[in-house]
Amino acid sequence: MNAGNRIPVSVRISQEDADFISALDIEGAHTPSEKIRELLRQARLVHTQTRDYGAALHAMEQFFQNAKHGVLYAEKQYGVHSHILARLFELLPDLAATLAADLPAEADLEALKQYERETMRRIVRLADSVLQLAVTGKGAAYDDTVLQQLENTLRLAQIVKQANEAV
């Protein structure tokens, strides 16, 4: 789009929104106008391409980007690392994009089953990844005792295993 196609729009926003736009860090967008144009582009992408996995994945990666950068910066500052958070930042965009984009608009029963399978694959991948960290234990988290929260999950897994063996 060239500058000749741009249409000026004037809006009044609250001081809170103006402060938000001013503080907003968007790569390649520095002025309030550039930031608002980028926000509109992102909103249009979400609205028009919800069935496109690639677009949904990009949007989810962007959604988590600020948090990921904040965590990495803090980890560097304090000399720590959380494998748990690293894996979540790695796997959650794919899971979210799959949930947002993989279900066809005209879903029949087979499409629903395929959607469920694709989603479940990602959930299992996430669960496996976290459980692997519990096996190694030390050094997986800022506070390794956080992995004790998996005790109930492991008990439930044992119950499921016993129930399946009884069948």
Rounded Cα gap, residues 92 and 108, in angstroms: 26
Residue 23 three-state SS: helix
Is pTM beyond 0.85? Reply is no
Q: Is residue 57 part of a domain?
A: no
Residues 99, 154 share a domain = yes
Question: Is the pLDDT at 1 greater than 70, yes or no?
Answer: no
Residues 103-156 have pLDDT tens digits of 877 889 999 999 999 999 999 999 998 888 888 777 788 998 888 888 888 888
> Within a 13 Å sphere around the CA of 111, how many CA atoms are in the beta-carbon half?
9
Q: Are residues 104 and 154 in the same domain?
A: yes
Q: Are residues 87 and 112 in the same domain?
A: yes
Q: Domain for residue 55, yes or no? A: no
Domain-located, residue 56: no
Mean pLDDT of the 84-95 span: 95
Q: What integer pLDDT is reported at residue 93 of this predicted model?
A: 95
pLDDT of residue 146: 86
Q: Is residue 138 part of a domain?
A: yes
Q: How far apart are CA 111 and CA 106, in angstroms?
A: 9
- My answer on whether 90 and 150 are in the same domain is yes
Domain that holds residue 41: 12-48
On whether residue 100 sits in a domain, the answer given is yes
Can you list the positions of beta strands (E) in the chain? none
Per-residue pLDDT at 96? 93
Same domain, 93 and 17: no
| Judgement on whether residues 73 and 44 belong to the same structural domain of the protein | no
pLDDT at position 114: 92
> Domain check: are 30 and 88 in the same one?
no
Q: Which two tokens stand for residue 12?
A: 């009044």
pLDDT at 78 over 90: yes
Whether residue 104 is found in the same domain as residue 31: no
Q: Are residue 33 and residue 68 in the same domain, yes or no?
A: no
> What pLDDT does residue 152 have?
85
Read off the pLDDT of each residue in 77-98 and give the average, rounded to a whole number.
94
73 shares a domain with 19: no
- Tens-place pLDDT, residues 21-68: 889 888 788 898 888 888 888 787 766 656 788 888 888 898 899 899
Q: How many domains does the chain have?
A: 2
